[in-house]
Structure 1
Amino acid sequence: MFLLSLPQELVDMILAEGLTVSDLGKVRLISKDYNTKFKDDFYYQVFKEIRINLRSEHIEKLAAIAAGSPGALPYMQHIIISPIWDRPYRQRYNDEDFRNPQLGPLLAKMFSTLTHLKTIEFDVSSGTQAIGYWKPIIDAVIAGERTTVETIKGPKAAIQMSKFKPLATAKLLKDYRATFCNLKSLEIQTSVQSETPAATAHFWSMINAMGAKLEDLTVENSRMSFRDDPSPGRQRSYQPKGFDLPQLKRLKLVDVAITATDLKALLSNSDGIEIVDIAACRMPKEKNDWFEVLGHLKKHRFPKLQELSLKMSACFNQTAYDLPRLEVKGDWTVEDCFVTLRSATIGDYVNYVFKKNLWNELDLHQTVDEFWDSLTDRKWRSKGTTRWKRRRLIESKWTLEMRQFGNPDYLDDTDPDVQWVNAKYLHQITELNAEVDEDDDE
């Protein structure tokens, strides 16, 4: 029975529900209009997400499909780069797969044919070789002059910051800018073993070169040591001179080394910024730098800012104070801001929570300490607020000292040296737990 022999309402219902890819491949209708609808649905189902790994045969096959099926090109908008699997649930990274001299030209040819490509996603969730996926793809996008890309989602496995190389020539810088001229959204995960200003500067140079049209930027970093307190050295910035993301609307940063100058440059589009979400970013002079950044928000007002979340505490070696988390939704110049400070008690954590108008606080207080005193009701320097930091540092020192005897989780507790170290740090923890906060005396 032909579908067109059925009542029109039933035909529309069948089409609305949709068919499987296998079914769609078998359907042939005498109605040209419905044939077109089925063809569109078929292409969409097959090509809406294209998943490949970096083996030559995969790339050649996709390039052949793109070249031989021009009608499918408008549907080929999202490509997912997958790892190679040598067994179920286990990724395999083999240098030989990436050293193939034909890999670059093949990828470049593939990207040159994907004329409607908008999204590149890296489905690489583990391992230490994320740069091995990132670099050949980015290089090939540039070589293939694929300027249509609007979204890049980097590997979840995280790229080591030291792997980013400088854009050393004027041509390379020009190629980055020309190729990613339509990039609107970039998500990238990085990792740091020991922060070096040069490597961080190379990373931000790349972001700057890709960022002319960038509206949404997410950089999530992880580091080997929570005690890592990086500094840009003699420079006041990790970013290149003239750094600018003129169309940025949404910014998310996690555990990134940054300065007040850098953050103000990221927030240069004061009339367009809508969301700012920053957590545990490493600032050289934390209390002063954050006060400077908040002053920048005040000065430029940021009229479209509707969501502000600043988890400012990140300088874990600094135990004289702790900075709060600030959260505002809505018009930040009017709405109250939730101010949260972490406070350690024996065996648990309790938060101090205040409601303040951040705009008014910045109006009333012109000096750093006066501002933080008022915003936190003087809690930011209290024993209760800083206790969790001091406990964490004691535990870190204990772990470091115990490692001279082996794995701290498997040591012989009867060993006299182990007992002596345990007793020393237990005494420090006991003294810490016995503290009475200044507020408790009142």
Structure 2
Amino acid sequence: MATLLLLPPEITDQILALLTPHASCALRLLSRSYNARFLGPLRSTIFTQLRINTHPSTISHLSAIVCVENGAGPWIQHITFSSRSFSKLNPKRPISSNPWLTGYEEHIPAYNFHDGEGVNAPPSISININEEFVNILRHLPNLRFVEFDSTCGVAHWKELIASISKCGISAIEHLRSPPAKMYLSDLYLSQSEIDGYNNSGFEKLKTLELHTAGTDMKNLWCWISTVGSNLEDLTIRNSSSPASMAPGSPGFLPTTFNLRHLKRIHLSDFLLTVADILTLLLPSSQSLQNLHLVKCKIKQPQPENWFTVLKTLKDHPFPSIKSLHLTLSGYHDGISSYDLPDLKLDSSSPWSSPSTKCEVKLRSGEWNYYVVRKNLYEELNRSPLTAEEFWDSLTNGRWVSKRATRYKRIIKAREDSRAEYGYGDPGLRGRIRAINGEVDSECEDVRY
């Protein structure tokens, strides 16, 4: 064992990486020389990724190990917050049950990092931990990844981002909200609060992932534009979006919105305007690689507006796009005479390459899909070209077929029936059966 101290540090680090924390502690207890040599690697093993709950005593324990001389703060890079009453500081490595860390440890105090278990656990309550947590964050210079599990809510999220802003640390690169939906009404920030986020704590933020619910998006996007000056990856999964937008509505993106470094955008269940989409995309035209708009709705007329968006991607241009997913099919506009296809493009080559094919997928009847693969860039490059001509060419004319529009026409029939008869229309089933029985002779069933 003595030869370990004579080996180059790189080799001893590789050896230590193969040991469990328990075995590493045993090795360090052999002598002060071993303890001094392996202190850093052991701390890296234990403290790099933590999972803590939001109970006050747990926050105090965290403060005790980082807000001291030679504390563990510089090793902490990833924290997952939970509000479970019996969550341990790091359940994957139960430090408090490790006999090697209960009195023999020289440099890491022996704390019990969990608040009890089962019915004896103290309740996990939401409190204002701002000042104490601000002090903790100041001792975490290498904290890069912050996320919340499904037990946390809006209060935990708002408290944390306010603390990050107040402490002024700038290492955080990845911020992920609770996977449960955060209602936008609860996320509301005043203008003075939004102004407080300018140049404070988010200079290196690269990835932002949010799960939201609600209709008033403008306040949230103002905050994103404030903290996201260097953002590269933006994911927002929303629900409860409005079914329609008032005529003349300008959308929800602020006029100063300018995220120039975006490489990946994923939006789910949004009601958009062409102006919103272009304001979001145009500043990052040279860097954007992935664009995914899933179940997003656009103002009427949909065929013309989606065509405008696609045409802009080609004309501006966006040379780096390699992944493009647009989920356009569905009953979003009350019009049953057509159905737009879902578009899916994934390629290692730029989308303008002749070899890059886009999957065009349309409903065909009740269970089947009509699928064709075409070069989207070439389809958009034809001139002169109208929206109707584009969708007709892209789908080989199927986008207005009876089989492709079956789903929308059934929903339309049900809506018209409820509007006229409520839920007592005796002829509704007959009309639905008639729709199901219609088949276009030129439209094949293609099972996908």
Q: Give 1:203's aligned residue.
A: 220
- Determine if the alignment matches structure 1 residue 230 to structure 2 residue 244: yes
CA separation of 1:395 and 1:232: change in aligned 2, threshold 3 A = closer
Pick aligned residue for 1:250 from 264, 272, 275: 264
Q: Give 1:97's aligned residue.
A: 125
- Determine if the alignment matches structure 1 residue 113 to structure 2 residue 129: no
How far, CA to CA, are the matches of 2:327 and 2:265 in structure 1?
14
How far, CA to CA, are the matches of 2:186 and 2:36 in structure 1?
48
What SS does the corresponding residue of 1:384 show, helix, strand or coil?
coil
How far, CA to CA, are the matches of 2:404 and 2:370 in structure 1?
8
Q: Give 1:213's aligned residue.
A: 230
CA separation of 1:396 and 1:220: change in aligned 2, threshold 3 A = farther
1:336 is displaced (CA, Å) by: 3.8
Q: Give 1:190's aligned residue.
A: 212
Q: Deviations over 1:45-89 (max 9, x none)?
A: 211112222221111211221112535322111111112247999
Q: Give 1:290's aligned residue.
A: 306
> Percent of counterpart pairs with the same letter?
28
CA separation of 1:5 and 1:336: change in aligned 2, threshold 3 A = closer
How far, CA to CA, are the matches of 1:13 and 1:205 in structure 2?
46
| Pairing 1:9-88 to 2, within 5 Å after superposition | 15=15, 18-28=18-28, 38-68=38-68, 70=70, 72-85=72-85
CA separation of 1:161 and 1:381: change in aligned 2, threshold 3 A = farther
1:276 is displaced (CA, Å) by: 1.2
Q: Which amino acid aligns with 1:23?
A: A
Pick aligned residue for 2:173 from 150, 155, 158: 150
1:14 is displaced (CA, Å) by: 8.1
1:363 is displaced (CA, Å) by: 1.8
1:104 is displaced (CA, Å) by: 2.1
- Determine if the alignment matches structure 1 residue 331 to structure 2 residue 350: yes
CA separation of 1:53 and 1:392: change in aligned 2, threshold 3 A = farther
Q: Give 1:414's aligned residue.
A: none
1:42 is displaced (CA, Å) by: 1.0
Q: Give 1:376's aligned residue.
A: 395
Partners of 2:341 and 2:360 within 8 A in 1: yes
Q: Deviations over 1:243-288 (max 9, x none)?
A: 1111111111111222221112221211111111221111112222
Q: Give 1:321's aligned residue.
A: 338
What SS does the corresponding residue of 1:231 show, helix, strand or coil?
coil
How far, CA to CA, are the matches of 1:136 and 1:17 in structure 2?
36
How far, CA to CA, are the matches of 2:71 and 2:406 in structure 1?
65
How far, CA to CA, are the matches of 2:158 and 2:5 in structure 1?
55
Partners of 1:246 and 1:269 within 8 A in 2: yes
How far, CA to CA, are the matches of 1:439 and 1:38 in structure 2?
73
How far, CA to CA, are the matches of 1:4 and 1:252 in structure 2?
49
Pick aligned residue for 1:123 from 135, 141, 149: 149
How far, CA to CA, are the matches of 2:173 and 2:6 in structure 1?
43
How far, CA to CA, are the matches of 1:41 and 1:426 in structure 2?
70
How far, CA to CA, are the matches of 1:440 and 1:79 in structure 2?
54
Q: Give 1:354's aligned residue.
A: 372
Q: Which amino acid aligns with 2:410?
A: R
Q: Give 1:385's aligned residue.
A: 404
1:172 is displaced (CA, Å) by: 3.5
Unaligned runs of 5+ in 2: 88-116
Q: Which amino acid aligns with 2:292?
A: D
How far, CA to CA, are the matches of 1:147 and 1:283 in structure 2?
37
CA separation of 1:39 and 1:393: change in aligned 2, threshold 3 A = farther
Q: Which amino acid aligns with 1:255?
A: D
Q: Which amino acid aligns with 2:25?
A: G
Partners of 1:274 and 1:305 within 8 A in 2: yes
RMSD: 3.5
Q: Which amino acid aligns with 2:375?
A: N
| Pairing 1:272-287 to 2, within 5 Å after superposition | 272-285=287-300, 286-287=302-303
How far, CA to CA, are the matches of 1:79 and 1:360 in structure 2?
46
1:178 is displaced (CA, Å) by: 2.7
Q: Give 2:325's aligned residue.
A: 309
Partners of 2:145 and 2:172 within 8 A in 1: yes
Q: Which portions of structure 1, spanning 4 or more consecutive aligned residues, are displaced by more than 6 angstroms?
A: 5-8, 86-90, 395-402
Q: Which has the higher helix share?
A: 1
Q: Deviations over 1:276-314 (max 9, x none)?
A: 122111111222221111111111222222222222235
- Determine if the alignment matches structure 1 residue 343 to structure 2 residue 363: yes
CA separation of 1:388 and 1:132: change in aligned 2, threshold 3 A = same
Partners of 2:401 and 2:443 within 8 A in 1: no
How far, CA to CA, are the matches of 1:266 and 1:133 in structure 2?
28
CA separation of 1:280 and 1:35: change in aligned 2, threshold 3 A = same
Unaligned runs of 5+ in 1: 405-417
What SS does the corresponding residue of 1:74 show, helix, strand or coil?
helix
CA separation of 1:151 and 1:7: change in aligned 2, threshold 3 A = closer
What SS does the corresponding residue of 1:152 show, helix, strand or coil?
strand
Q: Deviations over 1:409-442 (max 9, x none)?
A: xxxxxxxxx8x55x4432232121122326359x
Partners of 1:167 and 1:206 within 8 A in 2: no
How far, CA to CA, are the matches of 2:125 and 2:160 in structure 1?
14
Partners of 1:336 and 1:357 within 8 A in 2: yes
What SS does the corresponding residue of 1:222 show, helix, strand or coil?
coil
What SS does the corresponding residue of 1:80 show, helix, strand or coil?
strand
1:31 is displaced (CA, Å) by: 9.4
CA separation of 1:12 and 1:97: change in aligned 2, threshold 3 A = closer
Partners of 1:187 and 1:218 within 8 A in 2: yes
CA separation of 1:428 and 1:184: change in aligned 2, threshold 3 A = same
Partners of 1:281 and 1:314 within 8 A in 2: no
Q: Which amino acid aligns with 2:402?
A: K
Partners of 1:24 and 1:42 within 8 A in 2: yes
CA separation of 1:77 and 1:340: change in aligned 2, threshold 3 A = same
How far, CA to CA, are the matches of 2:335 and 2:6 in structure 1?
76
Q: Give 1:411's aligned residue.
A: none
How far, CA to CA, are the matches of 2:134 and 2:298 in structure 1?
40
Partners of 2:55 and 2:85 within 8 A in 1: no
- Determine if the alignment matches structure 1 residue 181 to structure 2 residue 213: no
